[in-house]
């Protein structure tokens, strides 16, 4: 099964440290999305890529967050100088185009000590 | 402000007791609505896409319907394995040219008791 893969599944770090997450989308999908989900809430949109181009960023994506998708394949999401409020599940999704359903990975759970 | 509201927040059903979950929305430029199922510690799993009012989709014990203002997910004779959080997401035009976004509701946590 070549679904969306995210690594690591869990990340525990101290406040102020930098963390990086990786997402490998479904291979034929051009669009890749990042979301954040906290307990009891639905996923909240952060940013998306069409191939290697980052086309939209949410207001939720502060300057400490950066995402890349080199060569239009896998993507990384980096959080610099982590804060307590960054604790959440970070979800990646991909789709064939803007109209098709987004398929999600199982996320990376970030815990800030 | 664009909004997606799901009700109830939580629902407990006896096995075999049919019910419906509601998703109401107020967004401009709606292009469609998705239903997802999410198990604890997992990412959302795609169930249905609905693109226009009056459309219906079915999968096993689940049936999704769409009107101009809301969508329903009907669960017929549920089983314990149907226990999960059900999320709806509206799909609409974003701020950038040619961009589309999903806005999710908070979900309905369904528990089916044997």
Give yes or no for residue A1 having a pLDDT over 60: no
Asked if B30 contacts B90 with a C-beta cutoff of 8 angstroms, the reply is yes
**Share in percent of chain B as helix, strand, coil (round to 5):** 5, 60, 35
Contact B41 A106 (CB under 8 A): yes
| pLDDT band, very low/low/confident/very high, at A71 (cuts 50, 70, 90) | confident
Higher pLDDT, B85 or A59: B85
Phi then psi for residue A84, to 5 deg, are: -55, -40
- Based on the number of CB atoms within 10 Å of its own CB, is A55 exposed (0-12), middle (13-18) or buried (19 or more)? middle
Provide mean pLDDT across the span B2-21.
95
Place of tokens 């604890």: B40
* pLDDT, position B3: 87
Question: Residue B112: helix, strand or coil by DSSP?
Answer: strand
Average pLDDT, chain B: 92
| pLDDT band, very low/low/confident/very high, at A55 (cuts 50, 70, 90) | confident
Q: State the Cα–Cα distance between residues B114 and B111, nearest whole angstrom.
A: 10
Structural element, H or E, at residue A34: strand A31-37
CA distance B71 to chain A (A): 17
Contact A45 B34 (CB under 8 A): no
Q: Counting every residue, how long is chain B?
A: 114
* pLDDT, position A110: 98
Contact A45 B107 (CB under 8 A): no
Q: Which pLDDT tens digit goes with each residue over B59-71?
A: 999 999 999 899 9
Which chain A positions have a beta carbon within 8 Å of B104's beta carbon?
A: 42-44
Q: State the Cα–Cα distance between residues A5 and A11, nearest whole angstrom.
A: 15
Which chain B positions have a beta carbon within 8 Å of A108's beta carbon?
A: none
* pLDDT, position B2: 60
Produce one character per residue of A57-93: b if its CB has 16 or more CB atoms within 10 Å, e if not: bbeebeeebebebeeeebbebebeebeeebbbbbbbb
* A84's tokens: 């307590």
């Amino acid at each position: 099964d070549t679904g969306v893969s995210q690594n690591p599944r869990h990340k525990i770090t101290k406040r102020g440290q930098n963390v990086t997450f990786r997402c490998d989308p479904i291979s034929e999908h051009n669009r890749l999305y990042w979301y954040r989900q906290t307990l009891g809430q639905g996923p909240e949109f952060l940013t998306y890529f069409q191939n290697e181009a980052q086309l939209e960023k949410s207001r939720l994506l502060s300057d400490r967050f950066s995402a890349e998708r080199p060569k239009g394949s896998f993507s990384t999401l980096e959080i610099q100088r982590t804060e307590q409020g960054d604790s959440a599940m970070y979800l990646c999704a991909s789709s064939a185009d803007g109209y098709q359903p987004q398929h999600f990975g199982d996320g990376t759970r970030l815990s800030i000590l | 402000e664009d909004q997606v509201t799901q009700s109830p927040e939580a629902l407990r059903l006896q096995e075999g007791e049919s019910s419906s979950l509601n998703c109401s929305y107020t967004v401009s430029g709606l292009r469609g609505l998705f239903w997802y199922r999410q198990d604890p510690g997992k990412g959302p799993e795609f169930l249905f896409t609905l693109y226009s009012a009056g459309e219906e989709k079915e999968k096993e014990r689940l049936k999704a319907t769409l009107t101009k203002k809301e969508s329903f997910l009907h669960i017929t004779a549920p089983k314990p394995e149907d226990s999960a959080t059900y999320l709806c997401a509206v799909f609409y035009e974003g701020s950038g040219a040619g961009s589309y976004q999903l806005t999710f509701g908070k979900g309905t946590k369904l528990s089916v008791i044997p």
